[in-house]
Structure formats: structure tokens, C-alpha cells
Amino acid sequence: MEKTLVILKPDAMERKIVGEIISMIEKKTYTISHMQIKELNDDDLSYHYAEHKDKPFFPSLASYMKRGPVVVMVVEGENAIKGFRKLTGATDPLDAENGSIRGRFALTKDENIIHASDSPESAEREINFFVHGKRQ
């Protein structure tokens, strides 16, 4: 069984679609083994988005992610990392499949509802950080 780290971003909370997204996750038969509502700060975001820190969109990404609480989850299942990315859909909702979470709910790539780990290495790093408070 694989584990992946999922974040429902502030727009998912604001739009009150957390329940619908959880329902999509469960209907796919994934198991949610950890779930926590959290407010992220600059330090969390600099660590989590280290690869985007120098990109021009980072300041707006950081203020979006700090706008309100997020839901941090660990999701488990067969091939959960690649499979969950498929359920999430492409970063730009215009490219996301209609049945995916972003395809159903997101309109722009700036505010795209959900994050999911993109590789086994990211999943391990993100679970260590968000669940166990450990940096590597």
C-alpha cells in the first residue's frame, strides 16, 4: 500500500466542497488514515514549496495558501501516489479531465483546490513534514 500527502487548499474550505472531495476519495476506495485542519505559515510554505520559492508566482501562491485553514490528509491505497494525481487532475484545470477533482471544481491554476504528492520521494518528505513535524 502506498501513502500520499493531500492538502485541500483554502478555496476548498471556503467553497464548502470538502465533503464532496472526501466522498470522491472514498468512492475511489482510498483510505484516509490521517486528517487535520491546519493554518499554514510562511515557514511551512517555504519548506513545502521549496522548488517554487524563486518563481514569480510564489508570493501570490503563499498568500492564497495562508488565506484560511487547509485540510491535510494522508491517503492510502494501491498505487496511491500516481493514482491520486490522476484523481486530482492537471495543475491547470483547463487541462484537467472532467471527472477529476480539479476538472470538476477548479477554474484557474492559481487556485486549484487540492495538492497531492507528485512522487514517492515527495510523499515521504511531505508526510514527514506535515504529519511528524520532521524536516529532511
Q: What does the alpha-carbon distance between residue 81 and residue 92 come to, in Å, rounded to a whole number?
A: 19
Q: Do residues 6 and 82 make contact, with C-beta atoms less than 8 angstroms apart?
A: no
Q: What does the alpha-carbon distance between residue 10 and residue 2 come to, in Å, rounded to a whole number?
A: 26
Q: Per-residue x/- marks for ligand CMP, 84-103, CB under 6 A?
A: -------x------------
- Active-site residue flag, 115: yes
**Judged by CB, which is closer to ligand CMP: 28, or 109?**
109
Q: Please report how close the Cβ of residue 128 comes to ligand CMP at its closest, in angstroms.
A: 18
How many CB atoms are closer than 10 A to CB 135?
8
**Judged by CB, which is closer to ligand CMP: 1, or 107?**
107
Nearest partner of 88 among 58, 127, 118, 108, judged by Cα = 118
Contacting ligand CMP within 97-136 (CB under 6 A):
109-110, 112, 115
Strand partners of residue 67: none
Q: Please report how close the Cβ of residue 11 comes to ligand CMP at its closest, in angstroms.
A: 10
Which residues here bind ligand CMP, judged by CB under 6 A? 52, 57, 61, 91, 109-110, 112, 115
Catalytic residue numbers, as ranges: 115
